[in-house]
């Protein structure tokens, strides 16, 4: 109890001191530009912009210990998780660890304390103290409630796990051309796969000395599209019945192959191939487990986007 009283008196002195950046202190924080900045109330501006401090034991989050995430009031940047919050008795919300990379630290001009700021917008949060022994981390981020907004666990947006798929259907320029335009696709990259040599070059692949096949790796958001939709696109933008390449591009590097990355992709591809066979297509597309994908040279990436034109050996034909 004695320790808490001493801590309270210490923090109260800091609050009323002009060194805390109270309403008389007009050194504005160096705010970064951000189109998503929230319009602040005069009191929020006093603390976040002009480095002020709210009165102890008055903030709405001082005694809140629900599960969730605390974000910057001004820009929404995630700052602290609820499991790092503890009760220090100082009168302000206390955390012993920030979310990595989300909070920046700067020594005050007087050299006495270390200010903490939102790493995204430089909005003032409070100060950090070390060596007080409250938790095993021996760190206390003393944060103004008014600088934050609490997001309950059930409302926290979950990180989206992007997925990948690899398709080979002749010249990889044309395959990439169509996938770049597909909904939910976040990235495409052409390269080589299925061979026995590390870091193959385009010339080596064309000379049939590596066993590699020209392919395209697509990264997509499963909340916006799915593997089956992309696999159907693959079967509709090339000729899946040609056994020795695509069009006039003949050779092992131009074979039609789906390189599956998991059992789900394999099963979906098998289902689609069977559907095509049921429609009378003599499908030549091979199904192989994905091995290491080697990105092709820079000048091959997004070829048609950079050079204009349309694919000479690919066009879309409705098959499903």
Among candidate residues 72, 121, 171, 313, the one labeled active-site is 171
Instruction: Report d(CA 112, CA 91) in Å as an integer.
Output: 20
- Looking only at the bridges linking them, the beta strands covering 148-152 and 249-250 are unpaired
Burial class (CB in 10 A: 0-12, 13-18, 19+), 154: exposed
Question: Are 126 and 14 spatial neighbours (Cβ–Cβ below 8 Å)?
Answer: no
Active site residue 171: yes
Active site residue 142: yes
Q: Which of 72, 90, 142, 313 is the catalytic position?
A: 142
Q: What gap in Å lies between CA 44 and CA 320, rounded to an integer?
A: 57
Rg (CA), the chain: 29
End-to-end Cα distance, the chain: 73
Q: What is the DSSP letter of 306?
A: H
Helix (H) or strand (E) holding 115: strand 114-118
Active-site amino acid positions: 142, 171
């Amino acid at each position: 109890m004695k320790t808490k009283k001493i801590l309270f008196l210490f923090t109260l002195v800091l609050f009323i001191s002009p060194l805390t950046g109270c309403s008389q202190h007009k050194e504005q924080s160096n705010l970064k530009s951000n189109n998503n900045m929230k319009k602040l109330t005069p009191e929020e501006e006093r603390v976040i912009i002009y480095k002020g401090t709210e009165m102890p034991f008055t903030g709405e989050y001082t005694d809140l210990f629900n599960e969730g995430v605390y974000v910057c009031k001004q820009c929404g940047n995630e700052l602290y998780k609820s499991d790092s919050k503890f009760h220090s008795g100082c009168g302000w919300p206390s955390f012993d660890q920030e979310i990595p990379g989300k909070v920046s630290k700067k020594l005050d001009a007087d050299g006495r304390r270390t200010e903490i700021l939102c790493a995204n917008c430089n909005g003032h949060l409070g100060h950090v103290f070390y060596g007080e022994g409250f938790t095993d981390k021996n760190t206390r981020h003393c944060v103004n409630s008014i600088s934050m907004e609490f997001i309950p666990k059930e409302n926290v947006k979950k990180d989206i796990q992007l997925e990948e798929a690899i398709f080979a259907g002749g010249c990889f320029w044309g395959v990439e051309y169509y996938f770049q335009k597909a909904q939910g696709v976040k990235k495409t990259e052409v390269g080589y796969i299925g061979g026995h040599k590390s870091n193959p070059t385009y010339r080596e692949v064309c000379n049939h000395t590596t066993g590699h096949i020209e392919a395209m790796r697509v990264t997509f958001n499963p909340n916006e599209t799915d593997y089956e939709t992309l696999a159907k696109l693959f079967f509709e933008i090339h000729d899946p019945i040609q056994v020795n390449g695509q069009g006039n591009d003949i050779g092992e590097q131009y074979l039609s192959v789906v390189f599956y990355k998991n059992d789900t992709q394999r099963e979906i591809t098998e289902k689609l191939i069977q559907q095509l066979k049921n429609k009378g297509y003599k499908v030549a597309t091979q199904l192989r487990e994905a091995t290491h994908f080697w990105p092709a040279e820079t000048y091959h990436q997004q070829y048609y986007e950079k050079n204009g034109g349309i694919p000479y050996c690919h066009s879309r034909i409705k098959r499903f």
